[in-house]
Structure 1
Amino acid sequence: MKLESSAFEADSLIPSQYTCDGANISPPLSWDAPPAETESLALIVDDPDAPVGIFVHWVVYDLPPETLHLPEGIAPQATLLKGGTHGKNDFGNLGYGGPCPPNGTHHYVFKLYALDRTLSLQSGATKAQLEAAMNGHILAAAELVGRYAKRR
């Protein structure tokens, strides 16, 4: 699978509207069709450069397998309009929390997973809970990395 965004190229800067310096809305994402046996999709966005260790910015799971994109500005509610469930990010909220590095340029890793089952986790699951539920059920994965340095 290939994961991309119309808002930024792989390994390039994430526009400020998708960060704490801007509107702090989720960027548009799209991907090609997952394997035929896919039952659900999951998305994790995290920052491996955070001073406290990996910082989680977005957790989404149980996206229908026919979903091939997420539009800009997904509302931070428990469930997504066209299917899927929001987990909790490390800001302590449901939904997307944009890049807001305390210093320097950080990398933000968007990871999409095709799974052989629906996970049926309650909304608000953490990245660790999602990863435990996905263990042994990943059919394919794709990754997109963007960078961001907070304005001074």
Structure 2
Amino acid sequence: MGVIERDKSLRLENVLSLRKKMTQQEVQQEMMKIGKFLQDNGIRKTGPVVTATFAVETDNEQPLMDMEILVPIDRKAELPEGYRLKEVFHLLHAVYARHEGNPNMLQNTYNEMLAYIQQNNLQQITAGYNVNIKEPKSAQELDDMVIDVYIGVNPSIL
């Protein structure tokens, strides 16, 4: 993992947003559906896909994640039911780190970031947002993945 930085921001415009409870398999299906919707409507992605997991519960032995998928797109569009358009997504005062390597090790990056937040008496106010900078095209490329992680913290000093 790289260096942890403070006071970073993440700003996206015209963002397709989907937030719902999903299994890992359903997340993959939703990503495919979003890709197909964009392709069918001539809409282009203007940046990397961002995901945030707000909670995880277990349902029938399978983790069920309360998750949001954010996809910046090149224009405002009429979206299918269940999707929202966020004209602006702006995360300020975030703690940031870059995770390079297998996403199975992402929890280690989170653990280091959360320890940093605690050691510096910061107050976490958002879920972690994962920005997929380099996505794998095959299972062999998983170890080459690059994910930027942002966690919003309270800018107030209390």
Normalised TM-score (structure 1): 0.32
Structure exhibiting the larger radius of gyration computed from Cα positions: 2
Greater fraction helix: 2
Greater fraction strand: 2
Normalised TM-score (structure 2): 0.31
